[in-house]
Amino acid sequence: MAPEFCPNCGVKVPPKAKACPECGADEQTGWSGAARYDHLDLPNGDFDYDDFVKQEFGGEKPIPRGVHWLWWLVAIALAAGLLLFWWR
Ligand SMILES: [Zn+2]
């Protein structure tokens, strides 16, 4: 949903527009996050960065399952290496 005015550059955005005609900001890149600021109460300018990150990135955590899997591989490789070392 496009805001009435682009929060990025302040230009009036056509109601059906998918992106700002002036600066190109759209739901993905620009105004979805910026529009949220309008509804956020920030008492005393208190800014919860962790909360902000959680809202901004949602479920997209920078630590994917692949890392976990990789660490298992490393652990197994280390264990196997130790076993081979002891075997001789
Ligand atoms: Zn704009």
CA gap 55, 20 in Å, rounded: 23
Distance from Cα 86 to the centre of ligand 1, integer Å: 65
Distance from C-alpha of 35 to C-alpha of 3, rounded to nearest angstrom: 7
CA of 32 to the centre of ligand 1 (A): 12
At which residue do the structure tokens 């960065």 appear? 49
- pLDDT at residue 61, rounded to an integer: 60
pLDDT tens sequence for the chain (88 residues): 678 888 888 889 888 888 888 888 887 776 655 555 555 555 556 667 777 777 776 766 665 556 677 888 899 999 999 999 988 7
The pair of structure tokens assigned to 4 is: 């009435």
Q: Ligand 1: distance of its center to the CA of 31 in Å?
A: 9
Give me the pLDDT at residue 75, please.
93
55-69 core/surface letters (b: 16 or more CB in 10 A; e: else): eeeeeeeeeeeeeee
Query: Could you tell me which residues are beta bridge partners of residue 12?
Result: 5
Q: What is the pLDDT of residue 17?
A: 86
pLDDT at 83: 93
Distance 2 CA to ligand 1 centre (A): 11
CB atoms within 10 A of CB 30: 19
Q: Phi first, then psi: what are they for 52, rounded to 5°?
A: -60, -45
Report how far ligand 1's centroid is from the alpha carbon of 5 (Å): 8
